[in-house]
Amino acid sequence: MAIGQLELAFRVVVTLFAIAAPTLLFLGLWRGLDAMRDDELIERARQRAEATDQSPTEADWPLDPLPDSGQSPLTADDSGPVVTCETCGTPNMQDATYCQECLSELDGA
């Protein structure tokens, strides 16, 4: 079965495309990324993101240190109900399943 010259040329072109296209696409991507590395557009986007950053600073959210006694900051007079662990006596939040100190299962959960 003889292959016509037109069909043979088509097969050669498709084969060359299948071989060369991935290499050319990779080289184009490489050059594009290299050009974008120091691009002005990227720098402006970074500056805009820094300027519009609305995250709170440390001055907006002052941290209260934990008591030096080593006790849990949860107490019975807090706004939420507290469950005391039967194993170690650590106060835990009402919806806690396990103790925050000894990891034993709480009965109140």
86: Cβ contacts below 8 Å, ≥ 6 apart: 104, 107
Cα–Cα dist 98/102, whole Å: 8
Model pLDDT, residue 62 = 58
Average pLDDT over residues 27-40: 83
Model pLDDT, residue 37 = 75
How far is the CA of 64 from the CAs of 25, 60, 73, in angstroms? 55, 13, 11
Average pLDDT over residues 15-28: 94
Instruction: Name the pTM for this structure.
Output: 0.32
Average pLDDT over residues 74-79: 52
Question: pLDDT-based confidence at 3, cuts 50/70/90?
Answer: confident
Residue 103 pLDDT greater than 70, yes or no: yes
Pick 104 or 35 by higher pLDDT.
Answer: 104
Residue 25 pLDDT greater than 90, yes or no: yes
